[in-house]
Amino acid sequence: MQLPVSFSERMQRLLGDEYNAFVAALEQTPPVSIRVNKAKAPISPGLKPVPWASSGYYLPERPSFTLDPLLHAGAYYVQEASSMFLEQALKQSIDLDESLHVLDLCGAPGGKSTHLASLISKDSLLVANEVIRSRASILAENVTKWGSGNVLVTSNDPREFSRLPDFFDVMVIDAPCSGEGMFRKDHAAVGEWSEENVNLCAQRQQRILMDVWDALKPGGLLIYSTCTWNEKENEENIAWLAAQEGVESIKLEVQPEWGIIPTQLNGLEGYRFYPHRVQGEGFFMAVVRKPGEPAAIQHGKSKKRKYKLTLAGKKEKALVANWLQEHAQYTWVQYGEVISAIPEVLFEAADEIYQNLYVLYAGTEVAEVNGKKLKPLQGLALSQDLNKAAFDIAELELEQALRYLRKEDIRVGTNGSSWLLLQYKGAPLGWAKQIGNRLNNYYPKEWRIRMELPQEIQDTNILF
C-alpha cells in the first residue's frame, strides 16, 4: 500500500516507534465482526467476544453474509468492532434505564442506530437520521430488520434539527470524514485522500456540530466519532467546540488490554483505535456534556395540542391489536394507508418529530389498509414484539428461504387462503399469501437478494 507522504509523516509523528507495526497492520486482512440482536437470536458457543461490546463477536473468517437468511431476519448486524465502543461511551456516561430522546445524526447504513436501539430502554425514543435520501432508505431497511419499535428514521439536513430546541438527551454524531481508518478495508480511499479533503472535512464537521447543537438539551451528552486519525477532524474539532460552547469532557475507563489509546488536547479526552493495537479498524471517539441543567421531562399526550399523526380507526385497531404482543402499550396511528404502532409513552415526542422533520419510517409498520382488507407489512414480520400466535407459520429450509428472499416462487406444502408468516430457524423473514396450494411472495422487492444462488448452498451456522 503506497501511503501519501504527508499522511505517513503525520502518522510517524503520532505513533513514533509503533509506526512500522501500524503500516504492517494495514497490509493484513481486516477482522470480521458482528453484533447479535439478543432479542432475536442466541449466541453460538466459541465465538470470540469484542471486549468493549456485550453483543459483539469476531468471526474466524468472512462468510457469504448475503446467503445467510438470519442476516436478513435482523438476527445480527455486520459491524466493524471499533465502532462498537459506542456502548462504553453510553454506559459510562448516562443512565440507560431512563426514558431518553436519542439522535443518531449520520445514521446510515445503520450500525450505530441498531446498536443504540439495543442499548436504550423501551420507553426511550431513537431518531435515526440520514441526510442522503438513498442512504436513508438503507437505514430504514436495517432499522426495520432490527425490529425495536421505538425508532423513527428521518432524512434531514443537520440544520433542520434546530426546529427541535433542547429535545435530545443524547446525540451521536459519527461525522463524515476523510476515512483514513478505512485504508485497510478500502484501498481506493488511499488514492482519494488529500490534505485539502482533510481540511474540508474538518470544516464540514464544525458546521454539523453547530447546526445541531441547539437541539441538545442542557446537560445532554454528545458522542462524536470519526473513522480517521488526523487531529484536525478529531481532537482539534472537540477543542474548537469547547471554545465555542464550554463543554465538559467525559473521561471513560478503558482496560489496558483493549489496546485503545487515550488522548488529550486542552484537557479534553479522546480515544484512538489503531489496527496494530486493536482487532478493528481506525476510529476516534470523544464524549462531552453540554453545560447547564436539563428541564424536567414530561410525558403523555396533551389534550390542547394539535397532532399531525392521526389515530387509527377503532375497527382497524381491533383487527390488528393482537398482531403484537400484549406486554407493550401502543398508540395505533394511520399515516396514509399504513397503520403503525408507536409506544404509547413516545407518541407525543414522535408527533413532534413528524411536525418538524421528514420521517421515512416510525415505530412498527403493522398493516396496509386496502378497502376492507388489511395486508400485514414487513415491519410487523420483523418486529421484536410480533405475536406469532396470531398467524399461520411455515418453517423454510435454507434453499427455500433464499429463494423467498430472492422474491422467487416457492412451495411449502400448505393449502388455504390466509397470510402465512415464513421463517428460517425460528426467525421470521416475511409474508406470503396462500392462494390454494400456491404462494404469492410479498417480500419487499427493493430488499431482494440479487446475487445468483450457487449450485451447492451451505449453511453459514454463525449463530446456531
| Residue 6 near residue 190 (C-beta atoms within 8 A) | no
Residue range 186-209: average pLDDT?
95
pLDDT in tens, 262-274: 999 999 999 999 9
Q: Helix or strand or coil: residue 364?
A: strand
pLDDT in tens, 77-89: 999 999 999 999 9
CB atoms within 10 A of CB 400: 18
Give how far Cα 439 sits from Cα of 391, 406, 421, 442, Å.
Answer: 15, 14, 11, 9
**Can you tell me the distance from the alpha carbon of 454 to that of 170, in angstroms, rounded to the nearest whole number?**
45
Cis, peptide link before residue 109, omega less than 30° from 0: yes
3-state helix, strand, coil in the chain (%, to 5): 30, 25, 40
Q: What is the pLDDT of residue 416?
A: 83
User: Residues marked as binding for S-adenosyl-L-methionine?
Assistant: 130, 157, 174
What DSSP assignment string belongs to 201-265?
HHHHHHHHHHHHHTTEEEEEEEEEEES---TTTTHHHHHHHHHHH-PEE------GGG--EEEEE
Residue range 251-267: average pLDDT?
97
Q: Where do the DSSP E strands lie in 290-363?
A: 310-311, 330-335, 338-343, 359-362
How much of the chain exceeds pLDDT 90, in percent? 86
Q: What is the pLDDT of residue 198?
A: 98
Q: End-to-end alpha-carbon separation of the chain, Å?
A: 38
| Residue 463 near residue 44 (C-beta atoms within 8 A) | yes
Lowest-confidence segment of 27-36, 59-68, 142-151, 315-324 by average pLDDT: 315-324
pLDDT exceeds 70 at position 4: yes
CB atoms within 10 A of CB 200: 12
Per-residue DSSP letter, 277: T
Tally of CA atoms within 13 A in the half-sphere of 314 that contains its CB: 0
pLDDT in tens, 226-245: 999 999 999 999 999 999 99
| Residue 204 near residue 197 (C-beta atoms within 8 A) | no
Q: What is the pLDDT of residue 108?
A: 98
pLDDT in tens, 161-181: 999 999 999 999 999 999 999
Stated pTM of the model: 0.96
Average model confidence (pLDDT) across the chain: 94
Residue found by looking up cell 390466509 in the block: 418
pLDDT exceeds 80 at position 301: no
- Write out the three cell numbers for 296: 424536567
Is 88-289 in CATH node 3.40.50.2300?
A: no
Tally of CA atoms within 13 A in the half-sphere of 322 that contains its CB: 6
Residue range 309-322: average pLDDT?
91
**Can you tell me the distance from the alpha carbon of 42 to that of 426, in angstroms, rounded to the nearest whole number?**
11
Q: What is the pLDDT of residue 297?
A: 53
pLDDT exceeds 60 at position 298: no
Going by C-alpha positions, the residue among 79, 85, 50, 119 that lies closest to residue 285 is: 85
Known catalytic residues?
227
Going by C-alpha positions, the residue among 65, 16, 64, 101 that lies closest to residue 352 is: 101
Per-residue DSSP letter, 74: T
Lowest-confidence segment of 108-112, 247-251, 284-288, 298-302 by average pLDDT: 298-302
**Can you tell me the distance from the alpha carbon of 421 to that of 409, in angstroms, rounded to the nearest whole number?**
15
| Residue 96 near residue 425 (C-beta atoms within 8 A) | no
